[in-house]
Chains A and B, each alone.
Chain A
Amino acid sequence: MPIIEVKDLVKTYKIIEKEDGIKGYFKNLIKPKYNEITAVNGINFNIEEGELVGYIGENGAGKSTTIKMLTGLLTPTSGKVVVNGIVPNEKRIENNKNIGAVFGQKTQLWWDLPVIESFRLIKKMYKIPENEYRNNLKNFSKILDLDDLLEKQVKNLSLGQKMRCEIAATFLHNPKIVYLDEPTIGLDVFVKEKIRKFIKDINKEKKTTVVLTTHDLNDIEDVCDRIILLDKGKIIFDGEKQKFKDTYGKYVIAEFIISSKNKNVCDLNNATILEENEKSLKIKFLHDETTIVKLINEISNYCTINDIHIKEAGLEEILKEIYKGAHKC
């Protein structure tokens, strides 16, 4: 049985339409006019225990709205959510025992207290057994490098330090499922790496299910096995990361370092020119349609080739392509 089950899930926000002027104000007061925004529009997916799922999409796609429904913070307009056998929005407190959640830069730690005091309160709230608490604390401190931070007041920590503590706090009670909504926003690469390693380690050790939203696709590349891609409230891809790349990104990007160009390269068979100048030429092509050898032959008619860099399209390029396509129609 899947640990997270989402069926025909819809969330529509009602917003009061503001009218100008005093007349509009009173009109609003008596008979407000509502505008509806469907943030999540009939989505379906199942997540199995231990999966690492990247939940991605553009700004405003409906990611946070979905996560809020999964955690029971928001009541769905229609559709079904079942998490670990519980409907989160009906049995919120019971559901909370099984989950952990991080929302952007909002901290669950006590602002004026040393970090360790917050951890103690969390231990008490979730009734974490003493030895489990000690083991986790020791283990987490090691991976996230918390030793020097525990005695500091939360308000005095830098963003990266706070986030490391926040992540530790979220996993402290060994939640079965963890929702991370943009946990790496604003962090430097080293902190990001620590957090990614932490998520992977804990997942391996405890089979924790993780749903991660982020705009840093390196997070997804590094951590997730599966991608769910949301666009305007609808899922447009759901599957393994590799399949995502195969489906959308079979093309290759090659950069040729060139010299003594005799004329502009204007036409190549089955390849698109991305950039061109006196010293370099960047092209895009599909493996199925042509090969690098053919291209070298063609290009050497125009210039001397000094070097070649070849790169598979990364998630970022693929996503750009998808969004471009999605916005055309």
Chain B
Amino acid sequence: MTKIFDNISLYLSFLKASLKEMLIYRFDCIVGMISQIVTQLVEIIFIWIVFQNTDNLAGWNFMQILLLYGVTLISIGISDFCFDALYDIGPKYIRNGEFDKILLRPVHPLISIIGSSKEFTSLGYFGLGLFLTIIMLIKLSIPITIILILKIIFFSIVGAAIIGAINTIFSIASFWTYRSNEVIWSFYRMYTFAQYPLDIYNKFIRILITVILPFAFVAYYPTMNYLGMDSNMIYIAPIIMIILWVIAIKIWNFALKKYRSTGT
């Protein structure tokens, strides 16, 4: 148990250092944030256009879809913020031989790496997501109770952790290719499937995002719960999170061991 606390406290120290490093690049950070928000606004306009021709998507109306969109963005914002450095393992750490210095620390390398994330621009996603979520909850006249707030906080973090675990699993590509960031990115982007009701998809995609890469537990099932649609599926999310992290760490350690025996 003390080991876990040690690791968390170390992670926070690393994060604090990243924050200080980030402050040096304040300007880039703001530009990044604005461009992220613009990208998302374009997507929202696209959804709006779709709704000019129909008044529901698989039974969800425009505002409900936007709520789902907002809840997703909150988790995406948190996970990009926390796990961004996974993208750096291949192209930055391993390619420049910086990975060795991380392996020489008395800490699990994942903590060092994840702790060096400094994607503060993702606060743009987070902010936009929060804004959309609050507005839509009000527009849909869903009572914002303490319980709902706590639920949203808890399950947004769980959702972020699910995305983080999936990214961690695919980050093992770093041990074979410098372009691992693209590998992680292509799987990560599948979260966009879960920004729309599952019923619009065929069976294959549904299985993909509930079972294989369970992005549906990031926002889709939680949002159904917030909307008062059926769904106790939300309560499976934390279990999935734990299972995914156990798998992620096992796979990662295994890949690292392989990597250390080839030395390339």
Contacts and interface: CB of A to CB of B under 8 A. Distances in A.
Interface stretch (B74-82, B95-103, B232-240): B95-103
A309 B107 CA distance: 56
Interface size on A, as a range, is 20 to 34
Interface string A219-234: 0000000000000000
A108 B101 contact: yes
Given A110-B17, A113-B17, A73 B106 contact: no
B135 to A, nearest CB: 37
Interface in B1-47: 9-10, 13-14, 17, 20-21, 24
A39 to B, nearest CB: 9
Interface in B240-264: 257, 260-264
Interface stretch (A41-49, A92-100, A239-247): A92-100
Contacts of A125: 10, 105-107
Contacts, number: 66
Contact of B100 (A14, A73, A75): A73
B108 interface: yes
A13 B104 contact: no
B103 A92 contact: yes
Contacts of B263: 11, 13, 65, 68, 73-74
A93 B107 contact: yes
A89 B260 contact: yes
Interface string A149-192: 00000000000000000000000000000000000000000000
A103 interface: yes
A110 B10 CA distance: 15
Interface of B: 9-10, 13-14, 17, 20-21, 24, 97-98, 100-101, 103-108, 257, 260-264
8 contacts: A14-B262, A65-B263, A74-B261, A94-B106, A96-B106, A103-B101, A112-B24, A125-B105
Given A65-B263, A99-B104, A124-B10, 17 more contacts: A13-B263, A73-B103, A73-B263, A75-B260, A89-B260, A93-B107, A93-B108, A96-B106, A101-B104, A103-B97, A106-B97, A106-B98, A110-B17, A110-B21, A113-B17, A117-B20, A121-B14
